[in-house]
Amino acid sequence: MKIFAHENLNRIDVLDERFYTTDNETYYPSVTTVLDAYPKGAGFREWLKANGAGSDQIVKEAAERGSNVHNAIEHILLGRELKWITNGVPAYTLEEWQMICKYLEFHQEYIQPGEQVAAETMLFSKTLRLGGTCDMVAKINGETWLIDFKTSNGLYKTHEIQLAVYKEMWDEHNSPKIDRYGILWLNSSHRTKRQFQGIGWQLKEFTDSHEYNLQLYHHTRALWDCENPNYKPRNMSYPNVIKLSGEPVEA
């Protein structure tokens, strides 16, 4: 969620990031929100059983790690300098800094100066009734790639579907059109260097067709719509200052 403080209005707004809008009237869910309806599978159920009450904390820590790495890469793409440790205080964990360095290795090897087309771009499709944010579009060897950064322990079918939908959304409003798409996996177990792969990272394409992945999205969307017929964002507002009126109670 995003939190905006309006001190002059004594108000703090907490915005629901699961939804996108261009006119503040019509809201569409994010791609990842819809894909929550995709079956998690037996492996996920076994993981829940194994971790029990600790699973929520594991998910929270993984989300924080992903957010920190994504934000760092965005700063790199904007030409800003990153520091791991300042005055003895680390800004990132060792694992996060390692992933940031892996991204830098990929970028320096494959993205030529001036070949980055877009970064952290909001995508929107009235046709698909959907919103999302694309991590990066760049030219690699003359082809236009749509790339999503992942720091997870594994890659899943929903990642593939997400990219297929992002391509559709990008192509609907933007140019150049997407030639190829893939996940830049910064937590890969690979330990050899070859094309689109380094030690601990890889740019992963998928084998199923684009059309097949779009079919899976539409099936998943039908399930999501069934469970969320009147969806809308749950934005909230709170006062910034709280104080009781009247005389204070003596301690």
Identify the pLDDT of residue 239.
Answer: 79
Q: Please give the C-alpha separations between residue 250 and each of 148, 174, 242, 243, in angstroms, as whole numbers.
A: 58, 65, 19, 15
Identify the pLDDT of residue 10.
Answer: 54
Give tens-digit pLDDT for 4-46.
454 565 544 445 668 887 777 788 888 999 999 999 877 767 7
Q: Is residue 122 part of a domain?
A: yes
Q: Is residue 187 part of a domain?
A: yes
Domain count, the chain: 1
For residue 3, pLDDT over 50 is answered with no
Identify the pLDDT of residue 41.
Answer: 75
What's the average model confidence in pLDDT over 205-224? 96
Q: Is residue 244 part of a domain?
A: no
What element of type H or E holds 125? strand 116-125
Domain ranges, residue 131: 2-41+115-239
Q: Is residue 158 part of a domain?
A: yes
pTM, whole model, 2 decimals? 0.85
Give tens-digit pLDDT for 172-213.
999 999 999 999 999 999 888 999 999 999 999 999 999 999
Q: Is residue 46 part of a domain?
A: no
For residue 100, pLDDT over 80 is answered with yes
Top pLDDT among 134 and 233 is at: 134
- Cα separation, 134 vs 121, whole angstroms: 5
Q: Is residue 121 part of a domain?
A: yes
Helix, strand, coil fractions of the chain, as percent rounded to 5: 40, 25, 35
Give tens-digit pLDDT for 54-98.
777 877 888 899 999 999 999 999 889 999 999 999 999 999 999
